[in-house]
Amino acid sequence: MAHPEDTEGQGESLTDQLNSWIRGWIDNVHDHTIRPLLIAIRGLIMGTLAVIIGLAVVAMICIGLIRLFDVEVFSGRVWATDLLFGALFLLIGAILLRRIRPRKDLHAGR
């Protein structure tokens, strides 16, 4: 006949094995589903934050340059600063629009 101590040891061992199997299964699910999702969300948040901060910095630089040209370079002649920066932004926009290439698959059905 088995001693009570032996059956207790087997019960704990079975419980430990079951606990270890469940923990391994949960870790496996976490590693294959939740962790990539967390990494993607973290990247999306950091990228959005970087874009927002970058746009704010560019806006502040543009404002600072326009004020500098208004006060120092053109001595209060706002129209000259507006003309200069309008032409500059027009040139930048034209260059960027020129680089756009139409996708061929959009016109394939015609």
Instruction: Encode pLDDT of 35-93 as tens digits.
Output: 899 999 999 999 999 999 999 999 999 999 999 999 999 987 999 999 999 999 999 99
Q: Is 0.85 topped by the overall pTM?
A: no
Instruction: Encode pLDDT of 18-39 as tens digits.
Output: 999 999 999 998 889 888 999 9
Q: Domain residue spans in the chain?
A: 27-100
Q: What proportions of the chain, in percent to the nearest 5, are helix, strand and coil?
A: 85, 0, 15
What's CA 11's distance to the chain center, in Å?
A: 50
